[in-house]
Structure 1
Amino acid sequence: MWKTFQHGENLYMIKIVQDDNLRLVVTDFQNIWVQDVSRDELLQQFQEANPLFDIKIEEVGSEVIEAINSISDCTNVEMVESDEGLKLILNTIKSEYKIRFKFNLLKSPSETFLKEITVPLIQTVKHLEERQSMLINLLHKKDRELEEYKLEKGLISRDDLITEKFDVEKLSSIDDKLMMNVFGQNETFWNCFVGQHGNIEANIEDVKQDPWNHIKRKRKVYSSKTVTKKGKGINYDN
């Protein structure tokens, strides 16, 4: 998972992927730096930076992940950027001892930025669009459910439970600079994007309004001479 942090006036994101090796990725939203390091190399770097601290090879990865996860809270960050790469030093406290993690990340080409930043951001926006569509349909169904309840049971007695009917137009005032409601409009584009970069690995419940949700029902008002048969209940006009 990405973590955000600030160094001076610059803003960054950082993440670490733990597999057989560890992959560290840092971006300032314009450039991207990457380092792939084995556990043996990571242990050697750790021992060189912290000669008085005894640690096992199976523990060093967890220590690095813990330092990165707390990077915006209690980790002091040192950074030196060059044309070739980025030197990153994380200073943290462990059991009252100061620990240093040193990394030498290489500057990666635009293809890496596309894979690590651009594609996930587009997929995130598309996922949010799908979730928004699902929630809008669910709210419409809930409003229709409340209308049905009021017709059959009467008004809701508790004021704190009464809500205004959902108005989807309130969501339409979006700044043109934002990218909401963009990637779901063109199915051909999205299918091509998925073919090149893969689909979103997430499941969203498909909530659709039933046709009868759009039809308002009215309670039929009977005169005093009208007799309702037992068990028939309240009649409605569709």
Structure 2
Amino acid sequence: MWCTINISDEPNGCDKKYIVKTACSDATHTVFLCDIEHGFVEVLTQEDMLRRCKELNPLVEASPERLVAHVVALLDGRRDDVHRSLRPLGGVRVLALRSKLVGLLFSFEFRLQPAAGDHIYTQVMAPILATLLELHERQTCLMKLLKKKDEEIAEYKINGGQLSRRNLETPVFDEQEFARKRLELPFSADVVPDPRERLFAPVVQSLIADVVRKMDGCAARAANSDIGSNVKEEMQRGPESVTTAEENGVVNSVNSQVKTEASEAHTVSPRKKEFEAAELKNERGAFGHDVMADAKPPKLKKHNHKKALGL
């Protein structure tokens, strides 16, 4: 979560409020520093952090886990025993932290690079805007609930119900009148000088963290929904549209074989011609001549009509 810290800006030495956020994993530690207008970030591995600790504190002896935990704790804005300063060094900003560890002076430096253009939006503004929308939705739900409660009380009174205590009776809720009165009221005294003090208070940060988790959950469900819709669409198209690459290869192989056989049917080798000629010869008979060609049509016997009539 974000927290507000006071940092002495060098070389003028004036204290300035920043917000800082740390993100730690097993492999890396990320520090993001922001004044709402500019952002700076550094990503350190645990080995880099320990090496820098030894470089700046050669006399300090502690376990790696304790050193890392101590460095991260130096960014806690609630600690008043830490001196923090920020100075430019080339193209980076050096955030110097000084405190004591096991009775010895301990110092550490974060060498922060300017953050990318969208880093402030994704890390700061997007969660704040999402929280604002979430609060608006909650207010809308509460307004509807109040109106339903008024209708419930009115029906209760119509049926003869009465309040046992008059001090619990309230006027019918008017949303527009409520909004008008809220705009007429001044802000509380601790909001006007620097809203960041309230914006990054622990209770507000807890709300922002809940909203960020809600955003991540919605994004995950949307991604799963897209995958499911694509699978459903493929299933609705039928098996013809889901032919795999392997099936395409089999079809192409069969088509190629059919084309080859058709081509061979038109191209007859000389050896095959000899074989067909030999078969034809056997059909023509043992004497090697065409039996059908030599066959003579039978002679028709002439019928003597005169003899039949006795002439």
After TM superposition, the score normalised by the length of structure 1 is 0.62
Any residues of structure 2 matched to 1:39-78 within 5 Å, and which? 39-71=46-78, 73-78=80-85
**Post-superposition shift, 1:140?**
3.0
Q: Deviations over 1:100-138 (max 9, x none)?
A: 231101112312223222322222222222222223233
Distance change in 2, residues 1:142/1:58 (3 Å): farther
Measure, in 2, the Cα distance between the counterparts of 1:150 and 1:82: 74
More strand by share: 1
Equivalent of residue 85 in structure 1, options 76, 81, 92:
92
Find the residue that maps to 1:155 and give its secondary structure.
coil
After TM superposition, the score normalised by the length of structure 2 is 0.49
Corresponding position of 2:16: 10
Aligned-partner residue type, residue 43 of structure 1: L
Any residues of structure 2 matched to 1:213-232 within 5 Å, and which? none
Distance change in 2, residues 1:136/1:96 (3 Å): farther
The 8 Å contact of residues 39 and 60 in structure 1, kept in 2 or not, is answered as: no
**Post-superposition shift, 1:30?**
1.2
Q: Which runs of 5+ in 2 are unaligned?
A: 8-13, 185-212, 219-311
RMSD of equivalent CA atoms: 3.1
Identity of aligned residues (%): 23
Equivalent of residue 139 in structure 1, options 146, 150, 153:
146
More helix by share: 2
The 8 Å contact of residues 79 and 87 in structure 1, kept in 2 or not, is answered as: yes
Measure, in 1, the Cα distance between the counterparts of 2:80 and 2:95: 17
Measure, in 1, the Cα distance between the counterparts of 2:151 and 2:80: 46
Measure, in 2, the Cα distance between the counterparts of 1:98 and 1:35: 24
Query: How many residues of Structure 1 are paired with residues of Structure 2 in the alignment?
Result: 180
**Post-superposition shift, 1:36?**
0.2
Q: Deviations over 1:83-106 (max 9, x none)?
A: 612100122345655432311011
**Post-superposition shift, 1:37?**
0.1
Aligned-partner residue type, residue 133 of structure 1: T
Equivalent of residue 155 in structure 1, options 163, 167, 180:
163
Measure, in 2, the Cα distance between the counterparts of 1:73 and 1:166: 47
Displaced runs of 4 or more, over 6 A? none
User: Who wins on radius of gyration, i.e. which is larger?
Assistant: 2
Measure, in 1, the Cα distance between the counterparts of 2:140 and 2:179: 11
Any residues of structure 2 matched to 1:93-172 within 5 Å, and which? 93-94=100-101, 97-148=104-155, 153-157=161-165, 159=167, 161-169=168-176, 170-171=178-179
